[in-house]
Amino acid sequence: MANKTINGRQCTIIWHVDDLKKSHVEKEVIEDIIKMLNKKFGKESPLTTTRGRVLEYLGMTLDYSTKGKVKISMYDYIDKLLTELPSDMNGTAKTPAASHLFNVNKDAKKLQEESAQLFHHLVAKLLYLSRRTNKISKQRWLFYAQGYNPRTRMTTKTNQGDAVPTSQ
């Protein structure tokens, strides 16, 4: 994050890798910054920019439509994530941390490579989501990300109703 006073008002730029969010009360200041960035980094193709009161940034929807407030949500991120889930993961759970959560079937078959890659992708997205929203679910996703081999097959649903990955 960087702050600079421009025209007597604070200009803030935050970034993550190649995603930037800029703010200043004067639109002209933002336009000048975009021109400078395009001149430096947009030689092969112009930078993609979005303007407005409602913005998407790193999976979060930032809504500035109410003066003096910002509303942050991840509903669109969650909706997109849910559309990526395979159909054999449909199900419900009574609790996000069932007693059998850390049980691993050591005799299970390995997932096919495509399923293992999808599993890894979804766990990474869920970890990202859990860092920004409900901290309770973080333990589950950390288990899958660090202590669990995604190439191992588990049953589609546990006796508690949790949906877990399976091989095809």
Residues 10 and 34 in one domain: yes
Q: Which among 73, 102, 130 is the end of a domain?
A: 73
Q: What is the pLDDT of residues 148-167, one digit of tens each?
A: 555 444 433 444 444 444 43
Residues 63 and 106 in one domain: no
* pTM given for the model: 0.63
Separation between Cα atoms, residue 90 and residue 165, nearest integer Å: 10
Question: What's the pLDDT band for 110 if we cut at 50, 70, 90?
Answer: confident
Separation between Cα atoms, residue 53 and residue 70, nearest integer Å: 9
Residue given tokens 């395009």 in the structure block: 38
pLDDT at 32: 95
- Establish if 119 belongs to a structural domain: yes
Q: What is the pLDDT of residues 1-44, one digit of tens each?
A: 999 999 999 999 999 888 899 999 999 999 999 999 999 988 88
Residues 7 and 63 in one domain: yes
Residues 11 and 65 in one domain: yes
For residue 99, give its domain range: 85-146
| Tally of structural domains, the chain | 2
Residues 68 and 89 in one domain: no
